[in-house]
Amino acid sequence: MSLLRTLLASLLILAGGVAVLAAATDGFRAFTSETARRIDVREHPRALPMVALQTADGRAIDFAALRGRWLLVDFIYTRCMTYCSVQGGEFAQLQRDLAQPIAAGQVALLSISFDPAHDDPMQLAAYQRRSGDHGSGWIAARPVNTPDLDALMRVFGVSAVPDGLGGFVHNAAIAVVNPRGMLVAILDWDAPGEAQQFIQQRLEQ
């Protein structure tokens, strides 16, 4: 009898274990928190917090003011000396590739600094200049209040870890916000072509 009971108990444990594993991995799709963040944003678009941002030219804006167009958002810190310093170049390239919809007011690019203590408007402007910014459609900004930064990073799912050398390592990505102000997708930071395609497909719909 103990053999049958053990078999029954094992089958129940196995079924329970598989169910928990499925739940813990979004149905065996997400084994890392980065994949989980992308799936969750895609399936449950997130409303953005109404936080005050200060741009490189000193203006105050918020997400409400940016509604009505598609937004491509990345998180940056201008002191970055490693791979994330490429992010600026990627956004300058997107600015070129999406020049038409940008000029038509359908798309804007937004870089948000998660190092607001250092990244004042002057630093943000210098960052855009050395990344190859050419004109309109690309806003660099920092949150005005520190608690707002936490709220922003939570909603976008951004985490920045000190790298031990005075900088940060963060899960860089290109976040897509739709014209109604909802975060709808998170794309690879090093594939601006993918982001451009995503936007153009949505604009053609």
In the complex, the residues that contact other proteins under the rule CB under 8 A are: 1-3, 5-6, 8-10, 13-14, 16-18, 20-21, 24-25, 30-36, 159, 161, 163-164, 169, 171
Two tokens, residue 57: 């030219």
Q: Give the type of residue at 8.
A: L
Nearer to other proteins, 134 or 154 (CB): 154
Nearer Cβ to other proteins (3/205):
3
Whole-number Å distance between alpha carbons of 203 and 19: 40
- Rounded to a whole number of angstroms, the minimum distance from the CB of residue 21 to other proteins is 6
**Beta carbon nearer to other proteins, 16 or 193:** 16
Nearer to other proteins, 99 or 191 (CB): 191
Reference 184, options 13, 80, 38; nearest CA is: 38
Closest approach of Cβ 52 to other proteins, in Å? 25
What's the closest the beta carbon of residue 168 comes to other proteins, in angstroms?
A: 10
> How buried is residue 177: exposed, middle or buried, by Cβ count under 10 Å (0-12/13-18/19+)?
buried
Specify whether the backbone of 43 is left (phi greater than 0), alpha (psi in -120 to 50) or beta. Answer: alpha
